[in-house]
Amino acid sequence: MTEVLMCIASVSELSPDEERILIRDIALASQANSKEGDTFFLITQRWWQHWIEYVNQDQTNTSYDASSLSEQFDLANSSALKRPAGIDNSDLIDDAVLEDSGTGIEIHDTLLEGRDYVLLPQEVWNQLFRWYGGGPTLARKVISSGLSQTELAVEVYPLRLQLLMLPKNDRFPIRISKKETIGQLHRKACEIFDLQPDQVCIWDYYARRRHALMNDMDKTLDDANLQMDQDILVEVINNTNNTSFAQENGSAQREANSALVEPSKSSLSIAGGLSASRGASKGYNTDLSSSQNLNSPVRDVENPYGTSGVTTRSSFLGLTGLLNLGNTCYMNSAIQCLVHTPEFARYFREDYHREINWQNPLGMVGELALAFGELLRKLWAPGRTPIAPRPFKAKLVRFAPQFSGHNQHDSQELLAFLLDGLHEDLNRVKHKPYIKSRDADGRPDEEVADEYWANHIARNDSIIVDVCQGQYKSTLVCPVCNKVSVTFDPFMYLSLPLQPTTNRTMTVTVFACDGASLPFSCTVTVPKQGRCRDLIQALSNACSLKHNERLVLVEIRNHLIHRYFEDPLQLLSNIKDDDRLAAYKVPKIDKNTKYLQLIHRQREQSSDSHIISGWKPYGTPIVSLISCDDTVTRGDIQVIVNCMLSPLLRKGINVEQATTSETSIPKATSDHCSFNSDDDACAPNMMSNSVNKDTTNSKAPPMPLPTLPLLLVDDNNACIDLSMGEEKVVKLSPLSPKILVYIDWSQKLLEKYDTHTLETLPEVLKYGPVTKKARTEPLSLYTCLEAFLREEPLVPEDMWYCPKCKERRQASKKLDLWRLPEVLVIHLKRFSYSRSMKHKLETFVNFPIHDFDLTNYIANKNNSRRQLYELYALTNHYGSMGSGHYTAHIKLLDENRWYNFDDSHISLISEDEVNTAAAYVLFYRRVKTDDAAVSNGA
């Protein structure tokens, strides 16, 4: 007590501002040097906020940014505040867990950084504790995490494991870091149960089965894929029964392997409640809300133990929220849509355990179904306290490690995994028969479709199939032999494109290699599923290509030619929006020719401005043709390159000036090219002259051409200087279709040529900000469906093996809806991916809430029943791809009212608020019509 009084007395001599500055300086020094093994301390957000306001009361009021601990010291309050009392972390403590349980002081499982607590470096905590005292002390270690294990995170929630000792059935809970080894866990178990190490073996006792013998003592618990609240079997080995134990070990291991294949370790698994980068307190970066000013009162909806604010639902169930565990809104929104699907709600609230398929090797030994069923029952139970889905997520990441950690994920990807996983766990078929599918071979579609569906049901029969699976007709046509293949495949959901148009805009830079003009960008419209011949034809029309010219299309990467598009049937879908294309006008000739590639290089300046390193490529290469039938000299290549570069001559500089201080090519060589007196550019027929030496142009007097610093790359990758010995014959390789020539641009040469037009090469399609028109222009859901059903060629990576040609062919594919499910799930493809970026489409889709009529889209014309659907749930995605937020709009059918489910916060909304540009996954139920709908649209 005396020591505490001395600490308080010492701090009383400091002003609030002095406290703030001292703690800020300590925090900055601590955060700069944080490393693995450091200790951080939890402090209640309530006390921390009080102290922040106290020490900032004399400062200018600023907004609070929770992204950095050191930035929190500039917060202000307009009124004078009393000095905080001692630190009181009691609101973080879970009193329901006894301290003598073996796990020490336990904190609540639902705490979030920045909302409930702040993480303080050890030096900061020590100083505050010396000043204020209090507690209890909640220390946590910094561990390595991330794909490369180089990121640092504070392990707020170490693993909580249940040690179960056999044969006594003694249980003992422990807390242990996921970075501890199996050997350390083994020693701890021996200490707890007072056993000798050679008497004990420990098992991964997941789902109360011997899943795996844990005998790799150097392996970490993280690498062993242990999950929160998992059982660990501590087995005492009787020395007299070593043989029987070995036999049991072997049989148990075989049983475990046959029952469950251990999923691969997730490389993205990070510590629970992490403080993301370098161990510094980065604030709470979940998607519950944006950063808030700590001077403002905390909203009631942020309180996980309060009500959700809905006051008009006293007698209705199904209005329970899900707490956000740290970027788990993607999971919460998908779960809420599934649990509010009436067929699933009814099924899982009844006795579904008898349908669990415990032996399915494709399933999750029933664990996913059990976890989902338990969570659904909690969400439909009376009471409004939000549920923390931590047990469900622990089971989820065991079988789908890609969803581990606290990163944001795609709600639709999680939904697809859940539907498939629940189906396999609940598959009524215990032994799947092998059935070989037959092609249609001219049989009636109805017969083939029923056969395919019967074969599918013989292997797949579950509540998921009953409710969510439909069937579509897939027609493939071979482009060579016209072989038609018809199959009828099941689907769980439809992924619809949001681009209503069948066209695509593409930008290509066109070069006139005869020296007629400067390069220019040309933007054309082509069929989205078109081929290279369509792009070349559109470019030819746009740039007024002459009848004796053709275009050579290439992709440019890193200032070099990456590939030639020489196959006219190559799909344009292979060209990404962030690719860069160039097209070169070259003459149509019958002679044997090669491509002459002119690669531009410039001096690479090192970090030391006084040191000049080697030459490196820059700008855009230029391509021309050169004849292989004629003898080619160094002077001939000089003529061709001079012609290609002539449009780049700066204004006021003619060829005579360009040759100043340069070695001139003899007049006999320059006869191959003549210049237009108006613009100092080569005459249009010059390029064909360079290819066909039999033709010359004598309309203008010949002029000397500058000798350019050109280097020819031979077969051995050696460089031949073309600036001397112009009459020497160049040996062309018979194996290579191209001739590679470098031009080294010195500063002196750049004074005569302007290469700016070579340095700017636009992307095929440059994404800009979403325009107002794009945000507001409606797109019909029917239009998206029509685009999905439109015939299109397969991508090259997914070519079809034609049974008639006995070859893989790029067939055209046509989908048709044949059999519709009771619940139709529609995924709007808002996210597109390219090599260097991810892009989200903010397109507003006008989807019907009532009377979504699919009757005319059913290919099975023998089904005369109307196919009407009504929307009852959807997920929404707001913001960008990496930092967005998911919510769900759900209609409670008993109430006939719509609600917004935003994690733990639920609010009543009108039907007019349902349809927004954030809609992502739509859930439709079949409307029961007078002619009585039949399961799966049959």
Quote the domain boundaries for residue 369. Answer: 328-495+780-924
pLDDT for 573 beyond 80: yes
> Of 153, 172, 188, which one is at a domain's C-terminal end?
153
What crossing angle do the helices spanning 367-379 and 390-399 adopt, rounded to 10°?
160
pLDDT of 836 higher than 70: no
> Are residues 390 and 342 both part of a single domain?
yes
Closest CA to 496 of 888, 772, 843, 858: 843
Residues 144 and 195 in one domain: no
350 pLDDT more than 80: yes
**Bridge partners of residue 151, in order along the sequence:** 145
Task: Transcribe 413-463 into DSSP letters.
Answer: HHHHHHHHHHHHHT-S-SSPPP------TT--HHHHHHHHHHHHHHH--SH
Report the alpha-carbon distance of residue 878 to residue 917 in Å, rounded. Answer: 9
Q: Which two tokens stand for residue 291?
A: 């950063």
* CA–CA dist 637, 814 (Å, integer): 51
pLDDT tens digits, one per residue of 135-146: 889 988 888 765
- Kindly tell me if the per-residue pLDDT of 228 is higher than 80: no
Q: Supply the CATH number for residue 133's domain.
A: 3.30.2230.10
Distance CA(773)–CA(843), nearest Å, equals 10
Query: Which residue, of 130, 153, 176, is where some domain finishes?
Result: 153
The more confident residue out of 904 and 230 is: 904
Dist CA 885 CA 97 (whole Å):
33
pLDDT on residue 555: 93
Which are the contacts of 472, defined by CB distance < 8 A and separation ≥ 6?
488, 489, 491, 815, 816, 817, 818, 819
Residues 827 and 923: their CA atoms lie apart, in Å, by 9
Residues 787 and 849 in one domain: yes
Q: Is 469 within 8 Å of 821 (Cβ atoms)?
A: yes
Q: In 3-state terms, what secondary structure has residue 555?
A: strand
Q: What is the mean pLDDT of residues 587-599?
A: 85
d(CA 908, CA 927): 24
Backbone angles phi, psi at 675, to 5 degrees: -110, 145
Query: What's the CATH code of the domain at 463?
Result: 3.90.70.10
- Please give the radius of gyration of the chain, using alpha carbons only, rounded to the nearest integer: 36
Rounded to the nearest angstrom, the gap between the alpha carbon of residue 518 and the centroid of all alpha carbons in its chain is 40
Q: What pLDDT was estimated at residue 729? A: 87
Annotated catalytic residue within 50, 406, 877, 885: 885
pLDDT for 273:
29
Q: Is 409 a catalytic residue?
A: no
Identify which has the larger pLDDT, 794 or 551: 551
> Tell me, what's the pLDDT at 287?
31
Checking if the pLDDT of 835 tops 60, the result is no
**Ramachandran angles phi, psi of 909, nearest 5°:** -130, 160
pLDDT of residue 556: 92
Across the chain, mean pLDDT equals 76
**Are 265 and 225 spatial neighbours (Cβ–Cβ below 8 Å)?**
yes
Taking the CB of residue 777, how many other CB atoms lie within 10 A of it? 12
Residues in the chain: 938
| Span of 204-218, 576-590, 666-680 with lowest mean pLDDT | 666-680
Given 201, 329, 543, 682, the catalytic residue = 329
High-pLDDT (> 70) share of the chain, %: 74
Task: Provide the pLDDT confidence category of residue 611 given band limits of 50, 70 and 90.
Answer: low
> Residue 504's closest CA among 582, 564, 577?
577
Q: Is the pLDDT of residue 936 over 80?
A: no
Residues in CB range of 411: below 8 A, 6 or more apart? 330, 331, 333, 334, 875, 877, 886, 920, 921
Q: Is residue 414 part of a domain?
A: yes
Q: What is the CATH number of the domain that holds 205?
A: 3.10.20.90
| Separation in Å, CA 444 to CA 439, 440, 441, 934 | 11, 8, 9, 22
Q: Is residue 187 packed enough to be buried (19+ CB in 10 Å), middle (13-18) or exposed (0-12)?
A: middle
Dihedral sign, CA of 721, 724, 725, 727? positive
Q: Beta strands 897-902 and 885-892: pairing type?
A: antiparallel
Strand locations in 513-610 (E): 520-527, 549-557, 560-564, 581-587, 593-605
* 165 and 116 in a common domain: no
User: Using omega within 30 degrees of 0 as the cis cutoff, is the peptide bond preceding 342 cis?
Assistant: no
**Per-residue pLDDT reduced to its tens digit, 88-114:** 888 888 776 555 555 678 888 767 777
Q: For residue 648, give Cα distances in angstroms to 513, 671, 700, 751, 757.
A: 12, 21, 21, 11, 8
Alpha carbon separation from 174 to 105, 177, 202, 251 (Å, rounded):
11, 10, 15, 29
Mean pLDDT of 363-371: 91
The whole-number pLDDT of residue 883 equals 67
Is the same domain home to 393 and 485?
yes
Mean pLDDT of 777-796: 82
Report if residue 302 sits inside a domain.
no
Tell whether 308 is covered by a domain. Answer: no
Of 390-399, 405-414, 434-443, 684-693, the one with minimum mean pLDDT is: 684-693
The dihedral through the CA atoms of 918, 921, 927, 931 has a sign that is positive
- Structure-block tokens of residue 714: 């031979």
Q: In a 10 Å sphere around its CB, with 0-12 CB exposed, 13-18 middle and 19+ buried, how is residue 753 labelled?
A: buried
Centroid of chain to Cα 760: 29
The owner of tokens 């000013």 is: 293
Looking at residue 216, its pLDDT comes to 87
Q: How far apart are CA 166 and CA 237, in angstroms?
A: 10
Q: Which residue has the tokens 């032996």?
A: 359
pLDDT higher at 522 or 10: 522
Token duo for residue 220? 């970490």
* Residue 41 in domain: yes
Confidence of residue 375 (pLDDT cuts 50, 70, 90): very high
Q: 477 and 371 in one domain?
A: yes
Distance of CA 474 to the CA centre of its chain: 29
| Ramachandran sector of residue 903 (left: φ over 0; alpha: ψ -120 to 50; beta: rest) | left
pLDDT (average), residues 448-476? 94
Closest CA to 282 of 22, 25, 24, 31: 31
Return the H-helix or E-strand segment holding 601.
strand 593-605
Q: Would you place residue 414 in the very low, low, confident or very high pLDDT band (cuts 50, 70, 90)?
A: very high
Q: What is the pTM of this model?
A: 0.48
**Taking residues 913-931, what's their average pLDDT?**
89
- For residue 391, give the H/E element and its range: helix 390-399
Whether the CB-CB separation of 151 and 269 falls below 8 Å is answered with no
Name the band, by pLDDT with cuts 50, 70 and 90, for residue 488.
Answer: very high
**Residue range 571-586: mean pLDDT, rounded:** 88
In percent, how much of the chain has pLDDT > 90? 22
Q: Based on the domain organization, do 592 and 725 belong to the same domain?
A: yes
Split at pLDDT 50, 70, 90, the class of 372 is very high
**Cα–Cα dist 224/166, whole Å:** 22
Question: If you average pLDDT over residues 268-279, what whole number do you get?
Answer: 28
Same domain, 486 and 571: no
Place 901 in a pLDDT band, splitting at 50, 70 and 90: very high
Our answer to whether residue 481 is catalytic in this structure is no
pLDDT, tens only, 511-526: 988 878 888 888 888 8
627 vs 333, residue with greater confidence: 333
Q: Does one domain contain both 92 and 210?
A: no
- Whether residue 270 lies inside any domain: the answer is no
DSSP string, 85-131: -SEE-GGGB-TTS-GGGTT-SPBPTT--BTTTEEEEEHHHHHHHHHH
Q: Are 328 and 321 in contact (CB under 8 A)?
A: no
* pLDDT for residue 246 is more than 70: no
d(CA 52, CA 120): 13
Distance CA 904, CA 823 (A): 26
Dihedrals phi, psi of 275, to nearest 5 degrees? -115, 105
- Per-residue pLDDT band at 230 (split at 50, 70, 90): confident
How many domains does the chain fold into? Answer: 4
Least confident of 361-370, 415-424, 755-764: 755-764
Of the candidates 336, 321, 498, 492, the one whose C-alpha atom is nearest the C-alpha of residue 411 is 336
Q: How far is CA 754 from CA 515, 518, 663, 676, in A?
A: 14, 11, 21, 19
Cα(673)–Cα(664) distance, integer angstroms: 14
Cα torsion angle, 484, 485, 490, 493, sign: negative
Whether 461 and 510 map to the same domain: the answer is no
Listed residue (178, 198, 210) closest to 242, CA to CA: 198
| Integer Cα distance of 404 and 326 in angstroms | 11
How many Å apart are CA 16 and CA 56, to the nearest integer?
7
- Ordered strands of the 159-166 beta sheet: 170-176, 159-166, 230-236, 200-204, 212-213
Residue 594 identity (one-letter amino acid):
K
Cβ-contact 624, 598 below 8 angstroms:
yes
- The most confident of the ranges 210-224, 260-274, 340-354 is 340-354
728 falls within a domain: yes
Q: What is the pLDDT of residue 90?
A: 86
Residue 370 is predicted with a pLDDT of: 93
Say how far apart CA 458 and CA 381 lie, in whole Å. Answer: 36
Query: What whole-number distance in Å separates Cα of residue 642 and Cα of residue 654?
Result: 12
DSSP 8-state symbol, 259: H
- At residue 204, the pLDDT reads 83
CB within 8 Å of 667: residues ≥ 6 apart? 702, 704
Instruction: Judge whether 734 lies within some domain.
Output: yes
Query: What single-letter DSSP state applies at residue 399?
Result: H
Residues 739, 591, single domain; the answer is yes
Q: What residues have CB less than 8 Å from 537, skipping those under 6 apart?
A: none
Q: Which residue has the higher pLDDT, 612 or 376?
A: 376
**What are 299's strand-pairing partners?**
none
737 pLDDT tier (thresholds 50, 70, 90): confident
Is residue 44 domain-shared with residue 166, that is, in the same domain?
no
Distance, in Å, from the CA atom of 198 to the CA atom of 175, rounded to the nearest integer, reads: 23
pLDDT digits (tens, 9 = 90+) for 620-669: 999 998 888 778 888 888 888 888 888 888 876 655 555 443 433 333 33
pLDDT over 90 (residue 899): yes
Boundary of a domain, candidates 153, 175, 206:
153
Q: Is 820 contained in some domain? A: yes
Closest by CA position to 379, among listed 352, 332, 344, 339: 339
